[in-house]
Amino acid sequence: MAPFPFMDIWMGIEARRRLSQVLPDSMLEWWNQWELPGLVFISLLAQVLLTLLGNRRKYGTNKVNEWIVWCSYYLADKVPAFALGVISSKIGDFYNNKQDEGRGSDPEMTAFWVPFFLMHIGGPDSITAYSLEDNELWSRHLVGLVVRTTVTFYIIVLSWSRTSWISWLSLPMLGAGFVKYGERTWSLYSASLNHCRHSWLTVTEAEKARGEERLLHLKGFMSCFVSVFSDVVLDRDDVRELRNIFYNCSCEDFFSYMDFVHGFCYDMFFTKSIVTHTFWGIILRLITLITEAVAFICYAINFHTETWQLSRFRSHHHLHAIVDSCRIRNPFNCIGGHFF
pLDDT tens by residue, 75-92: 998 899 888 888 887 887
pLDDT tens by residue, 189-235: 988 888 877 776 555 444 444 545 455 555 556 666 666 666 666 67
Report the pLDDT value the prediction gives residue 328, as an integer from 0 to 100.
35
Contacts of residue 330, Cβ cutoff 8 Å, sequence gap at least 6: none
The answer to whether residues 125 and 54 touch, using CB atoms and an 8 Å cutoff, is no
Task: State whether 331 and 292 are in the same domain.
Answer: yes
In a domain, 276, yes or no: no
In a domain, 274, yes or no: no
In a domain, 279, yes or no: no
Residue 56 DSSP class? G
Task: State whether 38 and 16 are in the same domain.
Answer: yes
Given a cut of 90, whether residue 142 has pLDDT beyond it is yes
Task: State whether 28 and 168 are in the same domain.
Answer: yes
> Of 156, 190, 224, which one is at a domain's C-terminal end?
190
The answer to whether residues 271 and 190 touch, using CB atoms and an 8 Å cutoff, is no
Long-range contacts of 11-16 (CB under 8 A, 24+ apart): 11/82, 11/85, 12/81, 12/82, 12/83, 12/84, 12/85, 12/86, 12/88, 12/89, 13/85, 13/86, 13/88, 13/89, 14/85, 15/82, 15/85, 15/86, 16/85, 16/86, 16/89, 16/90
pLDDT tens by residue, 88-129: 878 877 777 654 444 446 788 888 889 999 999 999 999 999
DSSP structure string for 284-321:
HHHHHHHHHHHHHHHHHHHHHHHHHHHHHHHHHHHHHH
Average pLDDT, the chain: 75
pLDDT tens by residue, 316-333: 444 444 334 433 334 333
Whole-angstrom CA distances from 268 to 187, 240, 276 are 8, 25, 11
Task: State whether 60 and 112 are in the same domain.
Answer: yes
Task: State whether 16 and 34 are in the same domain.
Answer: yes
Task: State whether 22 and 127 are in the same domain.
Answer: yes
In a domain, 278, yes or no: no
Task: State whether 249 and 317 are in the same domain.
Answer: no
Report the pLDDT value the prediction gives residue 8, as an integer from 0 to 100.
58
Cα separation, 28 vs 21, in Å, equals 9
Q: Crossing angle of helices 236-247/251-270, nearest 10°? A: 130
In a domain, 134, yes or no: yes
> Of 236, 269, 302, which one is at a domain's C-terminal end?
269
Residues 172/174/177/178 CA torsion (nearest 10 deg): -110
Task: State whether 223 and 321 are in the same domain.
Answer: no
Task: State whether 39 and 159 are in the same domain.
Answer: yes
Cα separation, 8 vs 129, in Å, equals 19
Report the pLDDT value the prediction gives residue 84, as an integer from 0 to 100.
86
Nearest to 228 by CA among 255, 201, 247: 201
% of the chain surpassing 70 pLDDT: 68
In a domain, 318, yes or no: yes
In a domain, 163, yes or no: yes
Task: State whether 186 and 233 are in the same domain.
Answer: no
Task: State whether 113 and 212 are in the same domain.
Answer: no
Cα separation, 288 vs 282, in Å, equals 10
Element (DSSP H or E) covering residue 99: helix 99-102
Contacts of residue 229, Cβ cutoff 8 Å, sequence gap at least 6: 132, 193, 196, 265, 269
> Of 234, 269, 304, which one is at a domain's C-terminal end?
269
Given a cut of 90, whether residue 48 has pLDDT beyond it is yes
Structural domain containing residue 328? 287-340
Cα separation, 250 vs 4, in Å, equals 52
In a domain, 280, yes or no: no
- How many structural domains are present in the chain? 3
pLDDT tens by residue, 230-271: 666 667 776 777 777 677 777 777 777 778 778 888 888 899
Task: State whether 98 and 186 are in the same domain.
Answer: yes
The answer to whether residues 4 and 80 touch, using CB atoms and an 8 Å cutoff, is no
